[in-house]
Amino acid sequence: MNCVDIHHLLPAYIDGELDLVRNLDVEQHLKTCSGCAAKAKSLRSLRTALQKSGLAYRAPASLRQHVRQIAGERREKSGANENNLLRLWQWIAAGATAVAVLAICLRPAGISSQDELMNEVVASHVRSLMADHLTDVVSSDQHTVKPWFDGKLDFAPDVKDFAADGFALVGGRLDYLNGRTVAALVYRHNKHFINVFIWPAANTNSVTEENTNRHGYNIIAREAGGFDYYLVSDMDENGLEQLANDLGK
């Protein structure tokens, strides 16, 4: 990130509103840029000053008492209706909570954990395209993308560029799949984007290698070099298979 990007993010950073990745990026930049660090310090000082300025107006006791009196009179007139409405909302809330719990705890018949993971893979791919958050680090240089993951994951993903085979490395990002933080490498083939999700293979439960299609997207699951790879894209299966073979070399 450059200083312009950081300046846009600083207010949210000071207020603790950034996601983990961007928060780390801002902190790393502030360690090396005295100008941005000074601006961040100034914003913190302003935030502290506003919190302690006493600008909030405290209503006098007479006004507070008057408001309570008015509210009490109206509550007496509409007490029955309000109680009925409250009970209705309580039943609605209880029903919604029960539905949510059932949706989380009960897996529909015939849906395996692998099927659920495949759906997660497609959802993450689509979300990355819809939210304009395809990459956290943008580079076609594998020696730039690979070090970016250092300290952000508990493993080091193998990053390669296959532009010679028609699959150009676009960059990478962090994602969350299979109950853990994973690496997502992004490749481009003509006008198609491919997400490659990577995490360490479990010795007792390695990936089931398969090619499948979900909701119009082709998915290839592979295990290679101690890692599970899930490739997903709207490109044709044969092209996606070629990239899968490259990753396994």
Sequence-separated (6 or more) residues with CB below 8 Å from residue 118: 212, 214, 219, 221
Determine, yes or no, domain membership for 84. yes
Residues 50-66: tens digit of each pLDDT: 666 555 556 677 777 77
- Can you name the residues that pair with 174 across neighbouring β-strands? 183
Q: 66-70, 97-101, 187-191: which has the minimum mean pLDDT? A: 97-101
Tokens representing 70?
């008015």
> If you ran DSSP here, which 8-state letter would residue 108 be given?
P
Question: So what's the pLDDT on residue 115?
Answer: 81
| pLDDT for residue 104 is more than 50 | no
| Distance (Å, whole) CA 149 – CA 129 | 21
| Distance (Å, whole) CA 239 – CA 230 | 15
Residues 18 and 84 in one domain: no
Determine, yes or no, domain membership for 56. no
Determine, yes or no, domain membership for 41. yes
Residues 158 and 216 in one domain: yes
| Distance (Å, whole) CA 217 – CA 235 | 8
Determine, yes or no, domain membership for 159. yes
Residues 227 and 142 in one domain: yes
* Domain-ending residue, one of 31, 51, 71: 51
> If you ran DSSP here, which 8-state letter would residue 167 be given?
B
Residues 138-183: tens digit of each pLDDT: 999 999 999 999 999 999 999 999 999 999 999 999 998 888 899 9
Q: What is the CATH number of the domain that holds 128?
A: 3.30.200.100
Residues 201 and 132 in one domain: yes
| Distance (Å, whole) CA 187 – CA 168 | 5
Residues 125 and 243 in one domain: yes
Q: What's phi and psi for 107, nearest 5 deg?
A: -90, 130
Residues 219 and 176 in one domain: yes
Residue type, 144: T
Residues 156 and 67 in one domain: no
Domain membership of residue 68 as a residue range: 61-105
Domain count, the chain: 3
End-to-end CA distance of the chain: 33
Rounded to whole angstroms, the maximal C-alpha distance in the chain is: 79
Residues 199 and 239 in one domain: yes
**pTM of the complete model:** 0.57
Determine, yes or no, domain membership for 148. yes
Question: So what's the pLDDT on residue 98?
Answer: 53
Residues 128 and 219 in one domain: yes
Residues 147 and 226 in one domain: yes
Tokens representing 238?
């044969």
CB atoms within 10 A of CB 197: 25
Residues 215 and 167 in one domain: yes
Mean residue pLDDT across the chain: 80
Residues 66 and 183 in one domain: no
